[in-house]
Every structure is written in C-alpha cells, then in structure tokens.
Amino acid sequence: MKFYQLDVFGSGPYSGNPLAVFPGADHLDAAQMQMIASEMNLSETTFVTRASVDSYDMRIFTPAEELSFAGHPTIGTAFCLAHLGRVTGEHLTQRTSVGQTKVTHRNDRWWFERPGRSHDDLESSDEKAGGTLAEALSLDPAEIGLEARELGRSGRLGPAVADVGMGHLMIPVRDLRSLAACSVRADLLAPVSSVGAYCFTAAGAGRIRARGFFPGVGISEDPATGSAAAELGIYLAARIGDIDFEISQGREIGRPSRLWVQAKKASVMVGGRCDLVLEGELVKLPPSRTPE
C-alpha cells in the first residue's frame, strides 16, 4: 500500500504537524488501521475509503484510538488527494463519522469550515477553574485567565469548552511567560478534561500563541491542532464577536506552525499551508486482529 507523509500548517517542509495519508484504504478494517497508525507513530494517520471528483470519505486514527474529526488531517488529506488527482476543484466535501466538512483551496492555503458551539466559562468558584486546573498545568491559579483587552476587546476570558466535532477545553493564560511555563500532569488533567487542554494567550494585534496538550488521546503536545484552533475561534467569537486571527503553535517542541482562523458566533474556518515530504509503501499488511 502506498502512503504519503505531509507537513500541515507549516511554513514549508519539516515544519508544522506531520500526517500520514493512506489514499487507498477501502479494504482495511478498523483493527488494521489502528495497528498501522500505531506503527506510523504520528499524532494522526488518515485512511481514505472512498473518493470521487469533489468528495471523499476517510477515517482518522491517533496511535491510540480513532477520532471523529481532526483539523490537520482534514487539510492534509484534501491536499494529498488533490496532488494525486483523485479529487479536483476548489470546493470539496469530506465525510467522517462526525458528518460533512467543507474544504476549500484558495491561493496557497487549504481551509476547512465547521459549525460549532461554545459552552459558558467555568465558574470562578469551580475547582476546575482554580487550583486543580492550575496544578494540572504546573501554573499558579492567578495565571489562569486573560484580559480580553489583550485582544482589543473588553472583559475577562476564562476556561471553557468549545466544540466543532471533538470538544476541547480552552484555557486562556495570563501572558507568554505563563504559556511557556505550562507543563501538563496527565493524572491531574484527566479528571478536568478527558481529551486534554488547548492553552492560549495574546501575542500582539491579530495574533495568538497556543499550545495543545492531549494526553487523553496519546498526544503529549501537538505541533498544530486545527480542530482546537477552530474551537478557539468559536470560543472567542461567542465572547467578543466576529474575529480573524493567526495562531502560532509548536515552537516549544521544535515544530513551528501557523494557522489562520476566521470565526463567527456559530461557524469557523481554519486555513494553512501543506507540503508533501515523503512517499512510501507499507511492505506487509498486518492481519485483521485486535492488538493485544
């Protein structure tokens, strides 16, 4: 089986978030897909089970489990199928277990669009918004939260869950120093958020720095998280109105990434670059079985 490895949301090859794509995976079952994803050992691997001129079906696996949706696999798989000529045109429809996602190619960026919703901020008296959450991130409780004026608006931002298909806990932190100091204790984070946490702070006009910690799905820190970026857009639009911004992520782990977000109250678009870095062939297909 042929596969392709791409770097998504980078500024060129060997930056951004790596992704493996198996474009002809219609004959594989879930157990085989999971074993292959574990062997690839990237944050996500995608398996295309059907493709036509303007649409495709795919499944997404981390090394530990299947996901219903993810951002950089959406961008990378669309790019790969277009590169192979299996889809054409600027407007595509992706289908996963969470439903349809629109994917668009404009200039040198690929964009996906998702509906979404944001929950209310965690109450300040809630243990999750105080000591427990701060301890899980190795921060002082005073470092949790961000004044919205840092983003050109009024009010104060607190932790909350937003959802465009997966659902992540958005955690604003006080400043860039606090963001750099984040170090996750998975045992303490799990009771607060089973998937993980997307921490962010202001980095200037129209710019945000973020870090994504997702130990619940086997990813200690993600270089670029398209789904969480989309959820951050939904989170911010619900609190301060329509907003366009750029996210910088992955610097702390040597994989600098850039994501562009255009968000309204209930819908969001996330875009970025994609580069093909290698092609390969799976030499031996694993048997259909459940890993021990």
Q: How many CA atoms lie within 13 A of 110 on its CB side?
A: 28
The whole-angstrom separation of Cα 287 and Cα 284 is 9
**Residue 57: count of CB within 10 angstroms of its CB:** 17
Q: According to the model, what pLDDT value does residue 125 have?
A: 40
SS3 71: helix
Q: Environment class of residue 71 by beta-carbon count within 10 Å: exposed (0-12), middle (13-18) or buried (19+)? A: buried
- Closest residue by Cα to residue 55 from 22, 27, 96: 96
Q: Are 19 and 6 in contact (CB under 8 A)?
A: yes
CA atoms within 13 A on the CB side of 254: 1
Element housing 178 (H / E)? helix 176-181
Residues 6+ apart with CB under 8 A from 90: 104, 105, 106
**pLDDT of 267 strictly over 80:** yes
pLDDT for the residue 285: 75
CA distance 167 to 174: 23
Domains of the chain: 2-115+274-281 (3.10.310.10), 117-265 (3.10.310.10)
Higher pLDDT, 34 or 153: 34
Over residues 84-107, the mean pLDDT reads 94
- Interstrand relation of 156-157 and 55-61 (parallel, antiparallel or unpaired): unpaired
Q: Do 54 and 92 form a contact (C-beta atoms < 8 A)?
A: yes
Q: What's the pLDDT score for residue 121?
A: 84
Q: What is the mean pLDDT of the chain?
A: 92
Closest CA to 270 of 164, 117, 113: 113
pTM greater than 0.85 (yes/no):
yes
Indicate which residues carry an active-site annotation: 44
CA dist 30 and 9 (Å) reads 27
Query: How do residues 169-221 score in pLDDT, each as one tens digit?
Result: 999 999 999 999 999 999 999 888 888 999 999 999 899 999 999 998 888 99
